[in-house]
Amino acid sequence: MKAIDRASLDQWYPIETEADIPYGRTTNRLLGTDLLVIRADDGTVTVLAEGQGLPLPLKRRYGYLWTTLGAPEKDIFAIAEADEPDRRYVPCGAVTVRASGLRIIENFLDMAHFPFVHTDILGSEPHTQVEEYNVEIRRDVDEVWATNCRFFQPQAALSATDGLMTRYIYRVMTPFTTLLYKTCPNSETRWDVICLFVQPLDPDRCRAHPVMYLLDDQSTTASLIQFQQLIFLQDRIILENQRPVLLPMEPRSEIPTRADASSIAYRRWLKEKGVTYGTSLQAA
């Protein structure tokens, strides 16, 4: 196995939606290691990694099969809303992106790009200002949270009928997984939840697995997925053209603004953990 930092190795990663694992043998990949996925006739799934004799540990959560090449200290994070019976569970399909997984997470946390990348959907000119928000590394749970985020959105969700000052809360659970809570056009007291689980294939190539837990009993599943895919494909164009490709970790390699507070906290948190996979600090 290639040299990978302990912090990236000792995590759970989704490799496929359970429903999409074909019977028989298929290949997959995680952190530069080829995987062989075997689904037996009775449905049992086994995952083998190149160069390792024993099958990898597996978990099933949020409709995905998760595995690890290391020894995670913690279980997969909890998402309380996933258990609420009136939520629409909407897995949006895997998207391969030629970018560092950490860049994908960082882009997900960024509001400043809304008017320019998701024009007339998640943002529009002249409403380009990112209002001040709060960001913290929550030591008790070891997660990064950004709260009190607000942004004016012409079409905040498929179910939105008008422009909306949308509120966001962002949560980064592990270096490669994140979610956001966002104003729900159909409820004044509850939030829509949009998750992004990243499966790093290589330092500069990933599969992104977006999953939503929505309060929307009107829209069809196909239209909800189509809306999310439109947004994510707009992000993919930006992500694949970002330079440098790997996440810069040297101080001041990119000039931060106030809007970047979440990115600064995220990078500090990664550095504290010793995450170098997909960063400029990766050992050659």
Residue 128: CB minimum distance to Fe ion, A: 14
C-beta closer to Fe ion: residue 233 or 264: 233
C-beta closer to Fe ion: residue 107 or 282: 107
CB-closest chain residue to Fe ion: 235
Q: x/- string (CB under 5 A) for Fe ion, residues 206-245?
A: -----------------------------x----------
Angle value at C-alpha 130, between 98 and 225, nearest 5 degrees: 45
Helices in the chain by DSSP H: which ranges?
A: 6-9, 101-109, 114-117, 221-240, 261-273
Q: Which of 224, 223, 195, 231 is nearest to 118 (CA)?
A: 231
C-beta closer to Fe ion: residue 23 or 116: 116
Residue 239: CB minimum distance to Fe ion, A: 9
C-beta closer to Fe ion: residue 39 or 207: 207
C-beta closer to Fe ion: residue 192 or 235: 235
Number of residues that bind Fe ion (CB under 5 A): 1
- Report 259-278 residues binding Fe ion (CB under 5 A): none
Residue 208: CB minimum distance to Fe ion, A: 11
Q: Which amino acid is present at 175?
A: P
DSSP secondary structure letter of residue 121: T
Question: Cα–Cα distances in Å, from 83 out to 12, 65, 115, 273, 274?
Answer: 20, 18, 33, 30, 33
Q: How far apart are CA 78 and CA 119, in angstroms?
A: 33
Distance of CA 135 to the CA centre of its chain: 18
Residue 152: CB minimum distance to Fe ion, A: 15
What is the contact surface with Fe ion in residues (CB under 5 A)?
235
